[in-house]
């Protein structure tokens, strides 16, 4: 058999196994060496077969791990549409709806597709508990004393070491620790804005930003945001004269999962530097990439110090620890002062636990497994939606993070749908909570950082049926 026919034949065999679901989404393929022996061919032939399958998006390589079934070539549903810039429209805060949706968060009988936090089964709780006991013993005065206002030194050192993506541009002195990323964003807005100022945000946007803006008396401009490539910079250009601060999630935004390409990040930083507009970059999903490497944050391109790079472990280790940070560039002294007047210092114990987790490689190890699980879950969720939801459903294609964004038929109102679903013990986040305008009423966000099993599959099926019945 000619070599080119040989590799195609092998590719075909594997393709059949995938389409027949003998190999399922997220399954690992046998190693190149194993297949070489199995088919008695050269390593190059197997590699060519894999390339063929990869070009069809049937499989994908994951760094340092191997090849996995992805089956995205069979994607039936298109990605959601992008909204238009609407600056004059009347705004209405979704506060009541947010309260309604999250009032049920502690009800364990409900399948919580609505939440923005990972399921406990995905968290390394036992290892963290060991860390608590170790930190308690190591900390001077067992952590009963005030910490430095700027934050635990051990954590800041590890943040600097571990921010490899920034290629050594940050030191321990560049970080200020905070009470989660929400607190970092709140403090950034406190030091850069005053009541009545206007900030530019993505749309749809993480509703916490809307809540902070309302609380601080800030106006928001919701910029059109592409489900894949993020915020529309042309739209930003049009309104930039009105904007005091930008607040974006450049990597795997919540809820769209969009990822700004490097060129866009560079252009954004260039534009904001020129206009002297600070960028609050909420990068708390940046480590949850499905691709080969961690995407760079805008902070990487920031020479002038206008980017305030925010992060946390709330989406990767423990939301309840409230450990976050910001590298605030030019605004460092103001942020430290803001933290001082808010609370003097943050507790050192959990900061020490996280620092220790980072220092001894446990965080890296955990993140590798966690990303793998998230990626597989994402593919499973996409498959389930394609199987169970109406044909005209549109679905996002995140390259990281933990959310899917669904756009349903225009006739569907997901706020009403929520009431029906919750009676069936299923919770999702209605699109309307991610905007101050009257839009996304036919959209929903699903959290896939859950433990995948038949129950979850069945729940997605039930949710699909609820949508179909609403049509």
Residues at the interface with its own copies (CB under 8 A): 105-106, 117, 120, 123, 125, 128-129, 132-133, 136, 141-148, 179-180, 182-183, 186, 194-195, 208, 211-212, 215-216, 317-322, 337-338, 340-350
User: Shortest approach of its own copies to residue 184 CB, angstroms?
Assistant: 10
CB 442 within 8 A of CB 412: yes
Q: Residue 69 or 155: which CB sits closer to its own copies?
A: 155
The minimum distance between CB 185 and its own copies, in angstroms, equals 9
Phi/psi-derived region of residue 143, left when phi > 0, alpha when psi is between -120 and 50, beta in every other case? left
The 10 Å Cβ neighbour count of residue 260 is 27
- The whole-angstrom separation of Cα 416 and Cα 438 is 15
For its own copies, give the closer residue by CB, 396 or 402: 402
The C-alpha atoms of residue 245 and residue 395 are separated, in whole angstroms, by 30
Cβ of residue 427: shortest distance to its own copies, in angstroms? 15
Torsion of CA 68, 70, 71, 72, to 10 degrees: -150
Whose Cβ is closer to its own copies: residue 66's or residue 208's?
208
Decide: 31 and 66 in contact? Cβ < 8 Å: yes
Q: Which is nearer to its own copies, 306 or 318 (CB)?
A: 318
In the complex, least distance from residue 463 CB atom to its own copies, rounded to whole angstroms: 24
Residue number, 122 or 384, with CB nearest to its own copies: 122
Q: In the complex with its own copies, which residue's Cβ is closer, 28 or 334?
A: 334
Closest distance to its own copies from the beta carbon of 111 (Å): 16
Report the distance separating Cα 395 and Cα 452, nearest Å: 19
Q: Under 8 Å CB-to-CB from 118, ≥6 apart: which residues?
A: 315, 316, 370, 402, 449, 450
Instruction: Show Cβ contacts of residue 327 under 8 Å, excluding neighbours closer than 6 positions.
Output: 163, 170, 174, 175, 176, 299, 308, 309
**Contact assessment for residue 175 and residue 325, using Cβ atoms and an 8 Å cutoff:** yes
Nearest distance, CB of residue 138 and its own copies, angstroms: 12
- Closest CB 186 distance from its own copies, rounded Å: 5
Which lies closer to its own copies via its Cβ, residue 133 or residue 292?
133
Min dist. Cβ of residue 270 to its own copies (A): 31
Question: Considering only CA atoms, which of 323, 359, 457 is closest in space to residue 158?
Answer: 359
Rounded to a whole number of angstroms, the minimum distance from the CB of residue 155 to its own copies is: 14
CB of 129 to its own copies, least distance (A): 5
Q: Which of 183, 376 has the CB closer to its own copies? A: 183
> Cβ closer to its own copies: 120 or 241?
120
Nearer to its own copies among residue 60 and residue 356 (C-beta): 356
Query: What distance in Å separates the CA atoms of residue 101 and residue 418, rounded to the nearest whole number?
Result: 8
């Amino acid at each position: 058999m000619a070599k080119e026919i040989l590799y195609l034949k092998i590719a075909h065999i594997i393709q059949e196994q995938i389409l027949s679901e003998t190999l399922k989404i997220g399954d690992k393929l046998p190693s190149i060496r194993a297949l070489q022996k199995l088919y008695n061919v050269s390593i190059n032939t197997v590699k060519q077969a894999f390339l063929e399958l990869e070009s069809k998006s049937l499989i994908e390589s994951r760094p340092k791990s191997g090849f996995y079934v992805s089956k995205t070539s069979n994607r039936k549903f298109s990605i959601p549409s992008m909204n238009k810039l609407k600056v004059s429209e009347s705004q209405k805060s979704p506060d009541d709806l947010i309260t309604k949706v999250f009032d049920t968060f502690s009800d364990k009988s409900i399948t919580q597709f609505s939440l923005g936090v990972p399921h406990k089964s995905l968290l390394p709780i036992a290892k963290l508990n060991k860390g608590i006991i170790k930190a308690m013993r190591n900390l001077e005065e067992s952590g009963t004393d005030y910490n430095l206002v700027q934050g635990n030194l051990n954590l800041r050192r590890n943040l600097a070491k571990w921010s490899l993506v920034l290629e050594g541009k940050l030191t321990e002195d560049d970080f200020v620790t905070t009470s989660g990323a929400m607190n970092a964003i709140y403090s950034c807005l406190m030091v850069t804005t005053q009541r009545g100022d206007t900030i530019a945000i993505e749309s749809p946007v993480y509703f916490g930003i809307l809540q902070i803006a309302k609380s601080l008396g800030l106006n928001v401009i919701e910029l059109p945001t592409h489900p894949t490539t993020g915020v529309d910079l042309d739209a930003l250009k049009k309104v930039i004269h009105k904007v005091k601060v930008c607040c974006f999630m450049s990597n795997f935004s919540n809820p769209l999962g969009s990822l700004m390409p490097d060129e866009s990040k560079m252009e954004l930083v260039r534009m904001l530097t020129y206009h002297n507009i600070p960028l609050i970059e909420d990068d708390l999903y940046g480590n949850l990439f499905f691709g080969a490497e961690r995407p760079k944050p805008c902070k990487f391109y920031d020479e002038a110090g206008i980017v305030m790079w925010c992060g946390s472990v709330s989406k990767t280790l423990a939301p309840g620890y409230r450990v976050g940070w910001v590298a605030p560039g030019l605004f460092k002294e103001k942020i430290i002062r803001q933290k001082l007047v808010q609370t003097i210092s943050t507790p050192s114990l959990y900061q020490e636990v996280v620092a220790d987790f980072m220092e001894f490689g446990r965080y890296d190890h955990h993140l590798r497994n966690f990303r793998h699980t998230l990626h597989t879950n994402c593919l499973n969720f996409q498959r389930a939606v394609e199987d169970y939801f109406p044909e005209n459903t549109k679905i996002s294609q995140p390259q990281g993070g933990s959310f899917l964004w669904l756009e349903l038929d225009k006739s569907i109102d997901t706020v009403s749908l929520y009431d029906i679903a919750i009676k069936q013990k299923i919770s999702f986040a209605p699109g309307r909570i991610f905007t101050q305008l009257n839009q996304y009423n036919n959209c929903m966000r699903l959290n896939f950082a859950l433990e995948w099993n038949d129950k979850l599959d069945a729940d997605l099926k039930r949710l699909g049926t609820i949508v179909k019945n609403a049509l």
